[in-house]
Chains A and B, each alone.
Chain A
Amino acid sequence: MIRVQAEPFDMGAELTRFTGSVSGAGAVVSFSGLVRDVASGDLDRMVIEHYPGMTEKALAGIADQARARWSLAGVFVLHRYGEMRPGEPIMMVATASRHRADAFAAAEFLMDYLKSRAPFWKQEITADGGQWVAAKDEDEAALKRW
C-alpha cells in the first residue's frame, strides 16, 4: 500500500494498522525518516515538493520490485510533501514477512530506491531563506548493491 499526503501522521498508529492488515507474518520491520535540523540548529521548516502522478507511480513500482524479490506478507510506503517542522516524521516504510531477513532486506531496498528514484525534493528553510538539499553521491551508489 502506498500513501502520499501533506498531513502529519502517527508512526505508532500506522505501524499498528499495517501489522493488523497482514496475515501469516512472523516479522515486521519499519523505518521512519524525520525532519533533521540543519548543522547551525536554526531550521525553521522543511518544504518537500513532489511530482503528483509520477510520485505514486514510482513508489508503486518500487514496492512491486520489493515484492518480486523477497517473500513479503505486506509492504507499506507513506511519504509526505509540503511543509513540516523539525522532528516531524517525513516518511515511513514497513515490511512484513514470515522470517525477519526478507522484511529487513526489503525495507532497506525500499529506502535506497525511494531516496533517489521517487520524485521528491527537499528544501530547508532558515532565517536566511530556502536551500535545496543536494543529492548525495552515496545515495546513488547505494542502489548498486541491489
Chain B
Amino acid sequence: MDLRYFAWLRERIGTGHEQVETEATTVAELIDELKRRDEAYAFAFSDLTAIRAAVNQDLVELDAPITGAREVAFFPPMTGG
C-alpha cells in the first residue's frame, strides 16, 4: 500500500511517500501501527483532531476501511481558497 503525507505531517515524518505492508483494516488502525514505529510518527500523529485522511484520493473519516486500498494519504486540515 502506498502512503502519502502532506504539509507539516510530511515534514514531521520526514518523507512524503512510502510503501508499507499492513494488517490494519481501518485508517485508525493504520495510524496506531505507524505511531508505534518511532517518535517522529508518534509526534506527527499525536493530535488526531488535526489529522485528515484520504483513501484512494477520497476524503474519509478515520474509522473508514482500508482493506484493498492502493493509496492512503494523511494531512492536516486543508487551507485552500
Contacts and interface: CB of A to CB of B under 8 A. Distances in A.
A122 B6 CA distance: 11
Contacts of A53: 57
| Interface size of B as a range | 10 to 19
A105 interface: no
| Interface size of A as a range | 20 to 34
B59 A121 contact: no
A134 B76 CA distance: 9
Interface of A is mostly: mixed
Contact of B80 (A120, A132, A134): A120
8 closest Cβ contacts across the A-B interface?
A120-B80, A135-B77, A115-B81, A121-B7, A54-B57, A122-B79, A133-B79, A118-B80
Interface of B: 4, 6-8, 10, 54, 57-59, 73, 75-81
Interface of A: 33, 48-51, 53-54, 57-58, 79, 90-91, 111, 114-123, 132-135, 140
